[in-house]
Amino acid sequence: MRVPSDHPLARTYALLDKEYAASLAELLGGTTVQAEVEGLVELILNSEAGATAVLAALRSLEHDSSPLVNDTVMRVVNSPHPSVRIAAINEVVRRQLFREAEEQLSARLTQDPFWQVRRAAVNALATTAEGRTLILAAANDPHWRVRYALMQQMEEWGHDPAQREAVLAMLINPDAPRASGAPLVFFQRVAGNSSHWHREIRLRDYLIYRWTGELPTDRPATDPREWCPIWDWDAAVLARNLEQLGRTGRRDALDVLVRLIHHSDERVRAWVILALREDGTPEQWAGAIGLLGDPREDTAPILESLTRGIELERIEAVAKLILRRPLPRVLDGPTAFLDTLPRYSPVFALQWALAQVGEAFPAEEVQEELERHKSFTLPPNAPAVRSIPPDHPYARAETLTHERAKELIDNPTLETSWFVLARAAQMCRIPLWNLAPEQRWKPLAQSREPIEPLTLPPHSLVRPRQLGSGGPIVSPLGVSGHYGLPVEGFVRAAEAGVNLFFWEPNYATLTRFMTRLSSSDRRGVHILAGTFEAEPAKIRKDVERVLRNLKLERLSTFLIFWTRSWQRITPDVREVLERLKSDGLVQVFGLSTHDRTLARDAILDGWNPVMVRHSAAHRKAEVEVFPHAIERGTSILTFNNTCYGRLLDPSFRPSDCFRYTLNTPGVSACFTAPATMEYLEENLDALRNPELSEEVRAKLLKRGEWMYREDTVFRKTVRDEG
């Protein structure tokens, strides 16, 4: 028997179709029909469902606080989709399911590879007294934003001065004596050896500063140049240095290079992996594997790249080396090469080695080591699986009898769940579509109108200036596509006299704006784009990509992005830039940097334009950079004028931040990166009304001085990576 076309099951059948699941899930918002609720629940719990459909289903069940839906919310905290995990954690908070979801939230905090999910877990766990202890794991989080979320919570806990000592006691005190042989629970908390403690110490310094204003003690920072002779802060240069070492050089330096296995730049990691695969010793391999033990850094793909296709003899040698080592513990001093690695995790290395037993070699060969390791209990990788409530569709499917299955096949409307019906069909060996409604639900077809081309109205530039020698004539205020300003926002900016836009490949709305313009209108718009590469062929490829994606004949301004070292600018890099200009693909080229000394040297070396950070909080460029630009006639572009919004204060307008930099001698233009039309309109006012009163300037400088002090402490404590 088929499900009648007017039955709720006829609607929920469409949830099984990936093409229509998201559309129907939206339409079922607010439903109280059991079949529809269960259909949405099954969609949410389907590991193969897309994130868009699952999020739509979660929204549609926001009104439902039944045990079934609450249980579903807690289960989907472990969704394969990061966006769904965040939404589920927010639902846990809204529904106040903290105690029930505590184990899942703790697992997300200590194991999730996405910092946004871990931050959400911190904020959720902090709402209960029990969670306060659990969120201390964030003190060692690899991402500063998660550590900052912890600091915000702990700062609030210490709002009452009488509570501050108790709050500080949760973190390591550098002046307190430390007993030899810390317990395993502490080992798990720091996720490695004693070099991780510096983060907790610095967070402690930050709390004291926030509560008392007392500036923290200067603590020695780890400088990679002390242990890595080829180190460069510019990742493109470091990758090139690794390439230029050659195979022999990389082999000889592997004891050092192992420490780069989890470098943030994929190019650097790739060279280290290649060196290990080509010439790594078992101990070096063991070191690399132990450094990949933090699941919060999403190191699984790195481990896969390292071990894929490697002969079992090498895997066996590495695993047996790890198994012969002492049981994992916190060491008071280095005892071997592996213990000298600052982020080495013997727990993860042991887990990996044990997983090779029976795969790469028989257990009989390491029986003695296996017996010895029995006394060590490995920490669980995942929270315990939640038991299924008896009224859950999954429970009904699990307990389904053949007699009941036959009944459901004869009359599927006796059931409210397609998950149960699918099980019944399987047991009776008939295809599920035999039960499907004859008239299947489909959303109303929406006619796709052709994308209309954009036509920019005539406009006049306000206070135009030239970028670089022979460069484009641009507006002093440019607009970046970083935060996804709608297409109409870029149109509005152009109407207001903006013709300078900052583009990177993932700026989708700015790309759509540019490609919808006519050829003549595109010629009147000036795009600033750039490259993070340091190899001529890749730099040229980046330029060609901009031209192709934006349908441009020539790129107005091209920068070597975020340059951190002069080693990035080799003669062949300068040569390819000159060739791109002579070929008519680039009108003018320059570089951007946070380093004021490098910016000054670039000006003296003839680079034009140069892009640097500048705001009322970061003013040193006014003395160290801008005078040289004025003297040489160099165009200066500035960015980060609001310090990502942290400089803003009710005592002045956001647009005043842009007025400040544009009224600074030596500055040619700056960029705003609004996300909404409202922010855009506010910031465009700096273009229409450029004057900055002395009263407002004084308020800006006062706020800037405060923020610079805050930033300095924040950088040395919360953001410090050691």
- pLDDT tens by residue, 625-668: 999 999 999 999 999 999 988 899 999 999 999 999 999 999 99
Judge contact between 592 and 612, C-beta under 8 A: yes
Q: What is the largest CA-CA distance in the chain?
A: 91
Three-state secondary structure readout of 283-322:
HHHHHHHHCCCCHHHCCHHHHHHHHCCCCHHHHHHHHHHH
Q: What does the block give as tokens for 25?
A: 């899930």
Peptide bond before residue 224 is cis, with ω within 30 degrees of 0: no
Looking up tokens 């695969």, which residue turns up? 277
Q: How far is 345 from 339, CA to CA, in rounded Å?
A: 9
Judge contact between 146 and 123, C-beta under 8 A: no
Residue 342 host element (H or E): none
How high is the pLDDT of residue 288?
96
In a 3-state reduction of DSSP, which class is residue 263?
coil
Q: What does the block give as tokens for 217?
A: 């003690």
How high is the pLDDT of residue 372?
86
Judge contact between 206 and 717, C-beta under 8 A: yes
Cα torsion angle, 257, 263, 266, 267, sign: negative
Listed residue (576, 571, 577) closest to 559, CA to CA: 577
Judge contact between 549 and 557, C-beta under 8 A: no
Residue 195 DSSP symbol: G
Identify the bridge partners of residue 531 per DSSP, sorted by sequence position. 560
Q: Which residues of 346-362 are buried (b: 16+ CB within 10 A; e: fewer)?
A: bbbbbbbbbebbeebbe
Residue 278 class from Cβ within 10 Å (0-12 exposed, 13-18 middle, 19+ buried)?
Answer: exposed
Cα torsion angle, 439, 442, 444, 446, sign: negative
* Distant-in-sequence, close-in-space partners of 623: CB < 8 Å, separation ≥ 6: none
Q: What does the block give as tokens for 120?
A: 């959400």
Q: What does the block give as tokens for 184?
A: 């395993």
Instruction: Specify whether the backbone of 468 is left (phi greater than 0), alpha (psi in -120 to 50) or beta.
Output: left
Domains of the chain: 393-434 (no CATH), 465-691 (3.20.20.100)
How high is the pLDDT of residue 199?
86
Residue 208 host element (H or E): helix 197-212
Residue 563 host element (H or E): none
φ, ψ for residue 590 (rounded to 5)?
-160, -155
Q: How far is CA 613 from each of CA 354, 466, 595, 605, 626, rounded to the nearest angstrom? A: 50, 20, 9, 19, 11
Q: How far is 495 from 221, CA to CA, in rounded Å?
A: 49
What is the number of alpha carbons within 13 Å of residue 560 lying toward its C-beta?
Answer: 31
Identify the bridge partners of residue 591 per DSSP, sorted by sequence position. 560, 610
Q: How far is 656 from 376, CA to CA, in rounded Å?
A: 61
Q: How far is 473 from 62, CA to CA, in rounded Å?
A: 52
Listed residue (421, 392, 398) closest to 71, CA to CA: 392
Sites in the chain below the pLDDT cut of 70? 173-196, 328-336, 339, 375-385, 444-450, 722
Q: How far is CA 311 from each of CA 253, 254, 279, 447, 654, rounded to the nearest angstrom? A: 23, 20, 13, 56, 60
Q: What does the block give as tokens for 655?
A: 């647009």
- What count of other Cβ atoms lies within 10 Å of the Cβ of residue 163? 11
Three-state secondary structure readout of 473-522:
EECCEEEECCCCCCHHHHHHHHHCCCCEEECCCCCHHHHHHHHCECHHHH
Judge contact between 463 and 690, C-beta under 8 A: yes
Q: What does the block give as tokens for 128?
A: 């209960």
* Distant-in-sequence, close-in-space partners of 240: CB < 8 Å, separation ≥ 6: 534, 535, 567
Dump the DSSP string for 409-467. Answer: HH-GGG-S-HHHHHHHHHHTT--GGGSS-SS---PPP---PPPPPB-PPP---SS-EE-
Q: What does the block give as tokens for 312?
A: 């079992």
CA-based R_g, the chain, Å: 30
For residue 435, the Cα-to-chain-centroid distance in whole angstroms is 44
Dump the DSSP string for 650-678. Answer: TTS-THHHHHHHHTSTT--EEEE--SSHH
Looking up tokens 């200066």, which residue turns up? 636
Cite the DSSP H helix spans in 4-97: 8-12, 21-27, 34-45, 51-60, 67-75, 82-95
Cα torsion angle, 215, 219, 225, 228, sign: negative
Looking up tokens 């080229």, which residue turns up? 589
Judge contact between 673 and 480, C-beta under 8 A: yes
How high is the pLDDT of residue 24?
93
Instruction: Specify whether the backbone of 30 is left (phi greater than 0), alpha (psi in -120 to 50) or beta.
Output: left
Q: How far is 372 from 391, CA to CA, in rounded Å?
A: 45
Q: How far is 302 from 100, CA to CA, in rounded Å?
A: 34
